[in-house]
Amino acid sequence: MWHKTANIEALLDSGATHNFIDRRTVENLGLGIRKLPQPQILRNADGTENKEGSITNFCNLWIKQGTTT
């Protein structure tokens, strides 16, 4: 199933170059994923390669802010 909802508090960084979501959250929410055409190397703020390795998948995530009426 591709559509699930979760009520969580989150900090959104609108100044980020890209948006990322960790693998455990994807699995916990049951989000559908697809393979990237080419893996992307993930680097930490200090320039070192992230211990989780390259990014190999992506998902579409729609976020709604506030309440609906």
Domain locations in the chain as residue ranges: 23-58
- Supply 35's token pair: 């393979």
Who's near 19: CB < 8 A, 6+ residues apart? 61
pLDDT tens-digit readout, 11-69: 766 666 777 788 888 888 888 899 999 999 988 889 999 888 898 999 887 777 777 65
Between CA 52 and CA 48 the distance in angstroms is 12
**Cα–Cα distance measured from residue 23 to residue 20, given in angstroms and rounded to the nearest whole number:** 10
First to last CA, the chain: 26
Greatest CA span in the chain, whole angstroms?
46
Q: pTM above 0.85? A: no
d(CA 58, CA 27): 12
